[in-house]
């Protein structure tokens, strides 16, 4: 919690509006995917609705909150920063898909589609909208790694608080492997296995959040270089003379 006061304030727009509110098409996609996810979970086997607590399903809840819940730009900014780190979970889901319980019509297709969209949404907020940056604010005098670790530690702390204090007890009570704390997740070579698989899972999640934020940060830096290069090139081109 000591990290929270160190988060730079993101100012609201004129008249106090949330300038990070997604455009209409993003808002529509968010509620459609969250609605379809809910239908698939509630129409499945008894107790499957509890799998709405799985990380990627919670991400759709966060994107729907971003789209429709009235809140400040600062709150939206924090949620977007968290979603960038947690998008690494969608990468893992696509790389090592666990579709054993996808038995309803087109549920497997939806599985891959919605995880792909979970990667596209952070890319929109950070890359295409240009309103959110993963890099430090120069006016705050922060270093790259200082800013990076601040958000990384906050991402890990919130994830651990939610899943270990709330979801794990529900998982134990229901007998459902909601956050892979009852049995190891599918992974190449059964790397995460054995009696210490929970500790390994925690380490893997922290590493995954780190790599997801690092990859997105490097992407933002490279995009900035490319934009600066082309901007400078077009500005230095001599204007054609008219006769």
Walk along the chain (243 residues) in steps of 10 and give the mean pLDDT of each run: 56 75 94 95 86 93 94 92 95 90 92 96 88 85 91 95 90 87 78 83 93 94 81 64 50
CA–CA gap between residue 150 and residue 166 (Å, rounded): 24
CA–CA gap between residue 99 and residue 176 (Å, rounded): 15
The predicted pLDDT at position 98 comes to: 86
The predicted pLDDT at position 4 comes to: 54
The predicted pLDDT at position 15 comes to: 64
The predicted pLDDT at position 185 comes to: 78
CA–CA gap between residue 16 and residue 141 (Å, rounded): 26
185 class by beta-carbon count within 10 Å (0-12 exposed, 13-18 middle, 19+ buried): middle
The predicted pLDDT at position 155 comes to: 96
Q: Measured at the alpha carbon of residue 79, what is the angle toward residues 7 and 226, in degrees to the nearest 5?
A: 80
The predicted pLDDT at position 83 comes to: 96
CA–CA gap between residue 182 and residue 140 (Å, rounded): 43
The predicted pLDDT at position 240 comes to: 53
* Residues 66 and 79 sit within 8 Å (Cβ to Cβ): yes
Helix, strand, or coil (residue 208): helix
- pTM (2 d.p.): 0.86
């Amino acid at each position: 919690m000591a990290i929270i006061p160190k988060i730079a304030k993101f100012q609201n727009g004129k008249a106090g509006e949330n300038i990070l509110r997604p455009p209409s098409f993003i808002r529509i996609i968010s509620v459609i995917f969250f609605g379809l996810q809910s239908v698939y979970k509630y129409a499945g086997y008894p107790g499957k609705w509890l799998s709405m607590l799985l990380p990627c399903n919670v991400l759709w809840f966060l994107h729907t909150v971003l789209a429709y819940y009235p809140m400040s730009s600062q709150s939206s900014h924090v949620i977007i920063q968290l979603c960038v780190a947690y998008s690494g979970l969608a990468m893992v889901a696509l790389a090592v898909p666990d579709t054993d319980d996808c038995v309803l019509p087109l549920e497997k297709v939806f599985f891959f589609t919605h995880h792909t969209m979970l990667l596209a949404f952070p890319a929109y907020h950070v890359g295409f909208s240009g309103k959110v940056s993963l890099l430090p604010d120069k006016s705050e005098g922060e270093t790259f790694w200082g800013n990076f670790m601040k958000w990384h530690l906050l991402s890990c702390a919130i994830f651990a608080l939610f899943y270990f204090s709330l979801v794990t007890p529900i998982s134990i009570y229901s007998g459902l492997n909601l956050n892979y704390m009852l049995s190891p997740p599918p992974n190449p070579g059964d790397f995460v296995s054995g009696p210490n698989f929970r500790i390994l899972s925690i380490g893997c999640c922290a590493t995954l959040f780190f790599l997801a934020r690092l990859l997105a940060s490097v992407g933002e830096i490279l995009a900035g270089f490319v934009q600066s290069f082309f901007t400078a090139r077009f500005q230095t081109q001599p204007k054609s003379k008219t006769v």
